[in-house]
Copies of this chain bind each other. A is one copy, B any other.
Amino acid sequence: MPEYPTGIGTSDIDSISLLGHDLAGDLLGKVSFGELAYWLATKRRPTPGQLRVFEAVLVSLADHGFTPTAIAARLTLYSAPDSLQGAIAAGLLGGGSRFLGVTEDTGVYLHNVVETLGETSEWTDARWDDLARATLTASAGTAIPGLGHPVHKNGDPRTPVIIDIAREAGVKGPHLELFEAIGRVHPEILGRTLPLNGAGVAGAALADAGLPVELLRGFALLARTAGIIGHLAEELQNPIGPDVYREVDGNAVYRKSVESSD
């Protein structure tokens, strides 16, 4: 009979233990939800600086308006109002490569370089710029994650704020340094100037805040869960689902497929 090891939680008749602490006595009212989420994912309690960056990044990722995922969640609630969990799940299932993936992709892209470096705390901007040039050159021909935004073409307003928060919190590290350097030098390499986007800086900041890059998509999804709940709360009161359905269905045009042989 196998044992099932876990470092998360256990309970007995009188107590509940979470992460090795007494839930009722040590954690309730003493840690924020953000702090617990960090701790559960890493098994390390965040430093105050790490927590400050983590909460700021979650706030930055929580909502982006009527994204495809928010629309899908609202349509699912309209169609199946008896299952709030189904509507949330439908919204999260859009959290893949195209939209929510940028945070993860940027973190992984930077981390693949950063993990090869030694101590970098004394590096100058010029040295980071050299590394960024080499990194971009090695990626020639592929899209650089975290660069570019369909709307904020002059600069994503989240980016400098998150970098400032990380600096003030004392957790700005090699991922953000390399990301900023990419922001400085990419016009020389790519021949055009693109903004460092907010999803990308989120990935860099989370990595510097000590979160494992293989879970970055998970944190984007956690943040987005709060946003989806906001959309579903609004959908319950002031639905758009019926209008979206009517608009798409009412403007459907039948096109016999050219490849149809029948």
Contact = CB atoms under 8 A, between A and B. Distances in A.
Interface string A184-203: 00000000000000100000
Copies of this chain, tallied across the complex: 4
Interface string A80-112: 111111111110111111111100000000000
Interface residues of A, number: 132
Interface in A33-73: 33-34, 36-37, 39-45, 52, 55-56, 58-60, 62-69, 71-72
A240 B229 contact: no
A32 B60 CA distance: 11
B162 A5 contact: no
Contact of A243 (B4, B34, B95): B4
B67 A80 contact: no
Interface in A142-190: 151-154, 157-158, 160-162, 165
A85 B221 contact: yes
A8 B230 contact: yes
Contacts of A69: 75-76, 79
Interface of A: 1-20, 22-25, 27-29, 31-34, 36-37, 39-45, 52, 55-56, 58-60, 62-69, 71-72, 75-76, 78-90, 92-101, 151-154, 157-158, 160-162, 165, 198, 212, 214-215, 217-219, 221-223, 225-227, 229-234, 236, 238, 240-241, 243-249, 251-257, 259-262
Given A4-B240, A8-B231, A39-B262, 5 more contacts: A1-B251, A16-B157, A28-B59, A81-B96, A222-B226
